[in-house]
Amino acid sequence: MRSTLRLLVVFALLLLAPAAHAAKTILVYGDSLSAGFGIRQDAAWPALLQQRLAERHLDYNVVNASISGETSSGGRSRIGEALARHRPAVVVLALGANDGLRGLPLAGMRENLAGIVTAAKKAKAQVLLVGMRLPPNYGPYADEFAQSFRTLARQEKTPLVPFLLDGIADQPTLFQADALHPTAEAQPRLLDNVWAGLAPLLK
């Protein structure tokens, strides 16, 4: 009888005890610039983001779902699975660079990015849009490309990081031999650029 009573008491205490708090998830959803192409994964800015969150005692886990070579179309095709799997509180959307480099139609890029934003919002996630720019030799297309992110952020009412590579784009020594992908030394600056838009979303 006593052992049975003891078990009942333990069971009741377990029911009354608060559930273990699960950390929220930040989903980094980008291309090679966020995937850490050509450098160690622990040196890429999403890994540095996880370190900063821990240092500041912010209860978030970073999931880096970035894929090298990804376009906005590819990102849109897999966003549903990514949201269902990771259930993020925040999505850092950093796609579009490969659309621009390939000269793909910008109306299609905007539509794809808007579709990703809509899906994330329906999944109750906040969205941070990360913009990109193209070299001046792309002419008027480069201007429309950069404007696309500002337009989308305004239409979707999402915060915007204007340019992921701000502060390093004009410094060749901070890029790998392909002149496209930042070195490990450049990653803290990329993190700072993203952090400026991300920090206000963290609760």
Catalytic positions are 32, 178, 181
Q: How many C-beta neighbours within 10 Å does residue 140 have?
A: 7
Lookup result for tokens 């959307």 = 93
Cα–Cα dist 89/120, whole Å: 9
Q: Report CA torsion sign: 35, 41, 43, 47.
A: positive
Q: What is the CA radius of gyration of the chain?
A: 20
Provide CB contacts within 8 A for 183, sequence distance 6+. 39, 173, 174, 175, 176
